[in-house]
Structure 1
Amino acid sequence: MARFIDVHPVNPQPRAINQIVALVRDGGLIAYPTDSCYALGCQVGNHDGLERIKTIRKLDDRHHFTLVCSDFAQLGQFVQISNAVFRLVKATTPGPYTFILPATREVPRRLLHAKKKTVGVRIPDHAVTQAILAELGEPLLSTTLTLPGEDDPLTLAWEIQDRLDHQIDAVVDAGECGTEPTTVVDLSGDEPEILRRGAGDTSRFE
């Protein structure tokens, strides 16, 4: 049964954040709010957590998983960034954008796109997510919490607990969060390619 953890949306209680991070470090899979919508998250090296995410979302090797990072310095450890891409990403973070970029050797092979050797990265603008990342000290392996056959992501904590109660370990409730997934931009080629239009202005990439 998934734990239900209430967290203040603006001033997250350290005790609650510590509980969440302890659960993640212990191999847990959580549903947590971001500045776009809810996401599933676990430690980068959590193989069981990755397999559970794949099962819940019915994902294959062509799916781009996302490393949710606390800041630009952390993001730069996991992806290769040219000067032009650096300026573009820097201007739009933190925010509701996921960027597809060539991965460095720091990223486990099983997280890479099967053919392109790329991975998604993002820096969210959400107090609770940032508090979790700060305490964890590393990125969260994440994906948008959209269930198979559904167009819209789940956005209500109680509904997530009801529907995924025996498949995840905790639901983090910080009140209302966004209802749109991130805008996904592939920056691994010569020109930006918008793969998904979601929250966030896309004009910089067009």
Structure 2
Amino acid sequence: MAQFIKIFEENPNEKEIDKVVKVLKAGGLIIYPTDTVYGIGCDITNNKAMEKVAQIKGVKLNKANFSFICYDLSNLSDYVKQIDTPTYKILKRYLPGPYTFVLPGNNNLPKSFKNKSTVGIRIPNNNIVRDIVKKLGNPIVSTSIYDEDDLIEYTTDPELIYEKWGNIVDIVIDGGYGDNTPSTVIDLSDGEITILREGKGSIEDFNIS
């Protein structure tokens, strides 16, 4: 069974964060809190781990729409083509927050993403996952454990998440109750603003007609 680790969002315990990072570096899978739904993820530099996540989600890795969780905007230039000032201003204004922004990918994307022209970037407003990413030194690949057919409790209550997923992943982090509304997904990859999914993040400011 997975380790079940309690971490408080207000002041994440460094020892517990180190435990999680060690597992990620060894190719392990973790379930962690965000500012929306709980997510399942791994180190984006570990292809085998990403294949496991894809398998769990029932998709082929090269077809998977995983997003990257970054600590802050300084990670962007590693994986995203140079973006214009208006796009950067949008990112700066809304992140950290409950949004996934689709941006044009560059040639440094991990090999599993080489066939993709875009990448989804998440910077959740949640200290636990951001501290993990900061300590790891690179983003983690992320997909929600959100399931349309599931009972809501199974995706929001960490103990029930552990009960259901504990045999599949290496660590389940209890960061308190999660949300059951996913992030708002906004495509900024071609200079236009396109809402791909309306979720927790408000779209009122984006002047979409």
TM-score (norm 2): 0.90
Aligned residues: 204
Distance change in 2, residues 1:174/1:151 (3 Å): closer
Deviation at 1:174, TM superposition (A): 1.3
Deviation at 1:87, TM superposition (A): 1.3
Deviation at 1:47, TM superposition (A): 1.6
Q: Hey, what does 1:52 align to over in structure 2?
A: 52
1:104 aligns with 2:106: yes
> Do the aligned residues in 1 keep the contact of 2:37 with 2:155 (CA within 8 Å)?
yes
1: distance between equivalents of 2:28 and 2:140? 11
Distance change in 2, residues 1:13/1:93 (3 Å): same
Matches within 5 A, 1:155-174: 155-174=156-175
TM-score (norm 1): 0.91
Deviation at 1:26, TM superposition (A): 0.8
Q: Hey, what does 2:5 align to over in structure 1?
A: 5
Deviation at 1:68, TM superposition (A): 0.5
Distance change in 2, residues 1:187/1:48 (3 Å): same
1: distance between equivalents of 2:51 and 2:64? 13
2: distance between equivalents of 1:21 and 1:125? 19
Specify the SS of the correspondent of 2:200: coil
> Do the aligned residues in 2 keep the contact of 1:34 with 1:126 (CA within 8 Å)?
yes
Deviation at 1:150, TM superposition (A): 4.5
Deviation at 1:16, TM superposition (A): 0.6
1:197 aligns with 2:198: yes
Residue 175 of structure 2 aligns with an amino acid whose one-letter code is A
2: distance between equivalents of 1:7 and 1:127? 10
Deviation at 1:40, TM superposition (A): 0.8
2: distance between equivalents of 1:21 and 1:87? 31
Q: Hey, what does 1:140 align to over in structure 2?
A: 140
Matches within 5 A, 1:33-48: 33-48=33-48
- Structure 2 stretches lacking a partner, 5+ long: none
> Do the aligned residues in 2 keep the contact of 1:155 with 1:179 (CA within 8 Å)?
yes
> Do the aligned residues in 1 keep the contact of 2:38 with 2:145 (CA within 8 Å)?
yes
Residue 184 of structure 1 aligns with an amino acid whose one-letter code is V
Deviation at 1:48, TM superposition (A): 1.9
| Cα displacement string for residues 103-158 of structure 1 (whole angstroms, at most 9, x for unaligned residues) | 1122113135x5x5111111111111121122111111111112475496812211
Specify the SS of the correspondent of 1:154: helix
| Structure in which a larger fraction of residues adopt helix | 2
- Structure 1 stretches lacking a partner, 5+ long: none
Residue 181 of structure 2 aligns with an amino acid whose one-letter code is E
